[in-house]
Amino acid sequence: MSVGTRTTIIDILRAAPAGRPALLAPERPTLDHAGLLAQAEATAARLGGLGIGAGDAVGIVLPNGPEMAAAFLGVASAAVAAPLNPAYRAEEYSFYLDDLDARAIVLMAGEDGPARDVARARGIPILDLMPGEAAGSFTLGAGEGMDDRPAAAVPRFGGPDDVALVLHTSGTTSRPKIVPLSHANLAASARHIGATLSLTLDDRCLNIMPLFHIHGLIAAVLSSLAAGGGIFCTPGFNALRFFGWMGEARPTWVTAVPTMHQAILARATRNRETIATVPLRFIRSSSAALPVPVFRALEETFGCPVIESYGMTEATHQMASNRLPPGLRKPGTVGAAAGPEIAIMDGAGSLLNQGETGEVVIRGPNVTPGYQNNPRANAEAFTGGWFRTGDQGHLDADGYLTVTGRLKEIINRGGEKIAPREVDDVLMEHPAVAQAVTFAMAHDKLGEEVAAVIVLKEGASAGERDIRDFAAKSLADFKVPRRVLFVDEIPKGATGKLQRIGLAEKLGLG
């Protein structure tokens, strides 16, 4: 199925093979592509009847599952979808809904919580979603704060340059920024991912990613549908249920973050029969660095290629990717450009040569035109038409990108710069280590010192001295962690990513 450069969400849904499975979910009847198109048209008509259309932000706070996927598509086709994390507290909903100037919010009917309380307090109209029988089918009730007006006779849909999706940056070190993504951005990214992975209408993705995040929305949902394939929507990641879902969904591929892949691997030996009877065409990993030992273990366990990719919200997810066989897969790299152009830039704005390390920059049809209502951030983010990702890396002779870390995460130990990723890679080679994250902790004389937190493999043992001695065999002395902490679980962000900034404080080292 072809996705053009000036395509919209509704164009993607209309071009899909009508009778083929689109949305699936545990123990639910399947919704085919014709049913999904009808659902999106009904959602657009409902919004249109309420005077909501292009440029109007609609918050979506729903649990992971097929209704979340279908609501995103329906709202995005006619207005601006603004998915929000269902785990947010009242203060967070207050900030995000105000920042978005939300015209309405979609909530699950009958469910109370902070999102509903904040919407009531702010007078934001609430649309109550009532699930239907088939996965992803629903009706939108009038809800609170709005008249029960009829749906528009003819739904109006957004154009290629209209904003379809807005997401906030994580805001780890500053106020979160709004990233607007147009229909053209979304269609381009779905097209890039589909081409990279050779997706067809026979493919089915098992989605375990949260659907308030760009990875799940675009890599799992939209790329699958744009290829005419299907998406099995789970209620969220659960390592204990993963192989049961795999047996029910019979997927051809899975996409997830590395921490999820590690949790799946930990249960794989008990589920060899499912792995054998439901062969995957490939496994995709993105949104964080995949340790090379985990890459090897995944390929050996599942008997299929592992495709590590590189994405971020401002690029509508995918920027670079390793390739399916017979193309190159280079463990430790995030692959070659897979959609936008990629280059390396120095601090002065000059492009660097192959092999030189600097900031990763991108430009292309999937890249946001700029942050919303934030000229200062845009001036800092764009140089000569290139978007500065904030990541440090270098390109090899094959054009494959190695990301050495976030520039703001580089540890400055008395003027000596240490890339945490480099230390992670060494620690992960220790036979007792299951997970390792290197981070900066405060030091009274040096400013910052190197620290690491480690989760040991089940049944394995190691001490701080063991880890430091092991690291010292491969790293210069100033890069060896001065503190090594052992925990049962490393604190993660809402999307399952490990976050270095703020980790010292969370672990009591701040």
Domains 31-180 and 410-506 share a fold: no
Residue 349: count other Cβ atoms within 10 Å of its Cβ: 12
Which is more confidently placed, 39 or 496? 39
pLDDT digit string, tens, across residues 20-35 = 999 999 999 999 999 9
Calculate the alpha carbon distances from 221 to 13, 102, 218, 241, 340 in Å: 12, 24, 6, 20, 20
pLDDT, one tens digit per residue, over 154-209 is 889 999 999 999 999 865 446 789 999 999 999 999 999 999 999 999 999 999 99
Nearest alpha carbon to residue 258 among 332, 198, 358: 332
Which letter does DSSP use for residue 408 in this model?
G
Tens-place pLDDT, residues 348-394 = 999 999 999 999 999 999 999 999 999 999 999 999 999 999 999 99
More confidently predicted of 44 and 412: 44
8: Cα separation from own chain's centroid = 21
Model confidence at 414: pLDDT above 90: no
Strand partners, 452: 438, 484
Token pair for 56: 């109007």
Look over the chain and give the mean of its residue pLDDT values, rounded to a whole number. 93
Domain locations in the chain as residue ranges: 31-180, 410-506
Q: What is the mean pLDDT of residues 422-426?
A: 91
Which CATH number applies to 31-180? Answer: 3.40.50.980
Domain 410-506 annotated CATH 3.30.300.30: yes
- The pLDDT of residue 439 is above 80: yes
Q: pLDDT at position 21, please?
A: 98
Task: Provide the residue type at 150 as one letter.
Answer: P
CB atoms within 10 A of CB 306: 22
Is the pLDDT at 264 greater than 70? The verdict is: yes
**Does the pLDDT at position 145 exceed 90?**
no
Task: Please compute the mean of the pLDDT values over residues 475-480 and round it to a whole number.
Answer: 90
Say which DSSP state 461 is in: -
Alpha carbon 185 to chain centroid distance? 15
Strand pairing report for 31-32 and 411-413:
unpaired
Burial class (CB in 10 A: 0-12, 13-18, 19+), 124: buried
The token pair that represents 461 in the structure block: 């043992």
- The arithmetic mean of pLDDT across residues 447-463, rounded, is 93
Q: Do 261 and 284 contact (CB within 8 A), yes or no?
A: no
Q: Give the type of residue at 325.
A: P
- Tell me the whole-structure pTM to 2 decimals: 0.88
Instruction: Tell me how far apart the alpha carbons of residues 475 and 158 are, in angstroms, rounded to a whole number.
Output: 53
**pLDDT of 6:** 75
Phi, psi (deg, nearest 5) at residue 24:
-130, 160
Average pLDDT over residues 266-286: 97
Q: Answer whether the bond into residue 326 is a cis peptide, omega within 30°.
A: yes
Q: How many CB atoms lie within 10 A of CB 287?
A: 27
Model pLDDT for residues 208-258, shown as the tens digit of each residue: 999 999 999 999 999 999 999 999 999 999 999 999 999 999 999 999 999
Burial 56-76 (b: 16+ CB within 10 A, else e): bbbbbbbebbbbbbbbbbbbb
Q: What angle in degrees, to the nearest 10, is found between the helix axes of 66-78 and 33-49?
A: 50
d(CA 332, CA 319): 16
